[in-house]
């Protein structure tokens, strides 16, 4: 597991975008995906908003995915295993990089065919708590024709990242403008933010 942490940090230092192909085990990713599918079947996902949780707005012309917030209060064994791994990663990050992370928040994210999220930053203008963005993908057998890539905009170096299962992406929330390109297939992930004071 620590090797996947090192993958994220080393690639982040090199390119401002950390990527680990093996952050989530296949077993955990499959269980989390099953959770998300069941939540969707039971109509428990909600339209994703724009802006912070105190002042959300909804605009399907900017963002069209659906979400469900993760919480240890749900007592779901697989979500708790994900949180345990995040606790270990935060400890690793704070000890090796003095990152000052004090908490996090994560939600499931579901994009149906035709869904997208236009260019944006993850840091709110009126609140600077989000320090790093993290996305862990839950899509098996993803093909290039399925679209749905994460497109990260950098000076002279835009980076297109396919949402393949087990892969995790990590970058500073206030630094990189990014978007989710139109998906042609159901696209699932856990998306969230490592937070500091």
Give residue 123's pLDDT: 73
Give residue 56's pLDDT: 62
Give residue 93's pLDDT: 95
Beta-carbon contacts of 103 under 8 Å, excluding residues fewer than 6 positions away, are 194, 195
Give residue 78's pLDDT: 97
Model confidence pTM above 0.75: yes
Give residue 52's pLDDT: 57
Q: How many CB atoms lie within 10 A of CB 159?
A: 18
**Residue for token pair 């994703």:** 48
Give residue 106's pLDDT: 98
6-11 contacts at long range (C-beta below 8 A, 24 or more positions apart): 8/89, 8/168, 8/170, 9/92, 9/93, 9/96, 9/97
Give residue 73's pLDDT: 97
Length of the chain: 197
Cα-flanking dihedrals φ and ψ of residue 160, to 5°? -105, 125
Give residue 188's pLDDT: 98
**Residue for token pair 């995040």:** 86
Q: What is the pLDDT along the chain (197 residues), one digit of tens a residue?
A: 778 999 999 999 999 999 999 999 999 999 999 999 999 999 999 998 776 555 566 677 889 999 999 999 999 999 999 999 999 999 999 999 999 999 999 999 999 999 999 998 887 655 568 999 999 999 999 999 999 999 999 888 899 999 999 999 999 999 999 999 999 999 999 999 999 97
Give residue 125's pLDDT: 57
CB 85 within 8 A of CB 104: no
Q: What is the pLDDT of residues 4-20, one digit of tens each?
A: 999 999 999 999 999 99
């Amino acid at each position: 597991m620590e090797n996947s942490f090192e993958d994220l940090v080393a690639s982040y230092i090199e390119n401002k975008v950390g990527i680990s192909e093996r952050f989530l085990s296949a077993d955990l990713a499959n269980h989390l995906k099953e959770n998300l599918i069941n939540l969707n079947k039971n109509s428990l996902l909600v339209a994703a908003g724009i802006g912070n949780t105190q002042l959300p707005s909804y605009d399907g012309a900017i963002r069209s995915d659906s979400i469900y917030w993760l919480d240890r209060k749900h007592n779901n064994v697989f979500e708790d295993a994900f949180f345990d791994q995040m606790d270990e990663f935060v400890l690793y990050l704070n000890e090796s990089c003095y990152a000052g992370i004090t908490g996090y928040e994560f939600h499931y994210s579901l994009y149906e065919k035709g869904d997208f999220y236009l260019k944006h930053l993850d840091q709110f203008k009126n609140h600077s708590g989000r320090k790093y963005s993290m996305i862990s993908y839950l899509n098996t057998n993803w093909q290039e024709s399925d679209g749905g890539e994460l497109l990260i905009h950098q000076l002279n170096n835009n980076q297109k990242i396919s949402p393949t299962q087990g892969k995790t992406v990590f970058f500073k929330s206030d630094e990189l403008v990014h978007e989710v390109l139109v998906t042609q297939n159901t696209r699932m992930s856990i998306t969230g933010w490592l937070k500091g004071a």
